[in-house]
């Protein structure tokens, strides 16, 4: 079974801020949500920041591990 995850990303002070906005049963439902939300404060200033990705349930989607990088001060 697939679901559609909608994210919104935009730049804030030289870094990217990403929000997971919602999870939808169809791609059309996710696109409808974008149309509703693109008029809301913040989103209306960064309407190109919406992204929808398809995910299959019960699967690993980040299986490679990760490393942490030190913060630059």
Contact yes or no for 69/63 (Cβ under 8 A): no
> Where does the pLDDT of residue 73 fall: very low under 50, low under 70, confident under 90, or very high at 90 and above?
low
Q: What is the mean pLDDT of residues 62-67?
A: 88
Interatomic CA distance for residues 33 and 73, integer angstroms: 38
For the whole model, what pTM was predicted? 0.80
- Give pLDDT, residue 69: 82
Q: So what's the pLDDT on residue 12?
A: 86
Report domain extents, the chain: 2-56
């Amino acid at each position: 079974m697939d679901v559609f995850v909608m994210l919104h990303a935009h730049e804030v002070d030289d870094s990217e801020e990403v929000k997971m906005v919602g999870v939808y049963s169809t791609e059309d439902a996710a696109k409808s949500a974008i149309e509703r939300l693109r008029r809301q404060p913040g989103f209306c200033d960064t309407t190109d920041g919406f992204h929808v990705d398809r995910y299959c349930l019960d699967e690993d989607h980040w299986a490679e591990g990760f490393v942490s990088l030190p913060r630059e001060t």
